Amino acid sequence: MTPPTGAAGEGRRPGVVAAAALAQTLLAANALLVLLPIGFMVLSSLKATREIFQRPFALPVVPRWQNYAEVWGAAHFAVYFRNSLIVTVASMALILVTGTLAAYALGRYRFRGNDLIFLFFLSGIMVPIRLAIIPLFIMMRDLRLLDTVWSLILVYAASGLPSAIFILTGFFRTLPPELDNAARIDGAGELGILITVLLPLVRPALAIVTVYNIIPIWNDFFFPLVFIHQDRLKTLPLGLTVFFGEFQTNWALLFAGLTLAAAPVLALYVVMSQQFIKGLTAGAIKG
Q: Could you tell me if residue 178 is inside a domain?
A: yes
Look at residue 166 in the predicted model and tell me its pLDDT. Answer: 92
Q: Is the pLDDT of residue 155 over 90?
A: yes
Contact by Cβ (8 Å): 167, 231 = no
The string of pLDDT tens digits covering residues 113-142 is 888 999 888 888 888 888 889 999 999 999
Cα separation of 41 and 120, whole Å?
Answer: 42
Asked if residue 160 is part of any domain, the answer here is yes
- 226 inside domain: yes
Position 235 scores a pLDDT of: 92
d(CA 7, CA 5): 7
Lowest-confidence segment of 1-10, 27-36, 95-104, 133-142 by average pLDDT: 1-10
**Cβ neighbours around 269 below 10 Å, total:** 14
Domain-located, residue 98: yes
The DSSP call for residue 249 is B
Residue 19 resides in a domain: no
What is the C-alpha to C-alpha distance for residues 68 and 65, in angstroms, rounded to an integer? 6
What does the pLDDT read at residue 279? 47
**Which residue range(s) make up the domain with 155?**
78-232
Tell me: pLDDT of 8 over 60: no
155 in any annotated domain: yes
Residue 131 pLDDT = 86
Q: What is the CATH number of the domain that holds 155?
A: 1.10.3720.10
Amino acid sitting at position 236: L
Residue 8 in any domain: the answer is no
Nearest to 258 by CA among 22, 26, 45: 45
CA distance 9 to 22: 20
Dist CA 64 CA 46 (whole Å): 5
Residue 285: the pLDDT is 43
CB 77 within 8 A of CB 260: yes
pLDDT in tens, 245-273: 655 678 888 898 889 888 888 888 777 77
CA neighbours within 13 Å on the CB side: how many for 145?
16
Nearest residue to 261 via CA among 116, 111, 80, 137? 80
273 Cα distance to chain centroid: 11
pLDDT at res. 149: 94
**Against a cut of 0.75, is the pTM above it?**
yes
User: Which segment of 29-38, 92-101, 271-280 scores lowest on mean pLDDT?
Assistant: 271-280
159 neighbors 95 (Cβ within 8 angstroms): no
Q: How many structural domains are present in the chain?
A: 1
Main-chain phi, psi angles of 66, to 5 degrees: -65, -15
In a domain, residue 220? The reply is yes
Question: Distance between CA atoms of 215 and 65, rounded to whole angstroms?
Answer: 27
Q: In the chain, pLDDT over 90 holds for what percent of residues?
A: 29
Beta bridge partners of 219: none
Rounded CA separation 150/141 (Å): 12
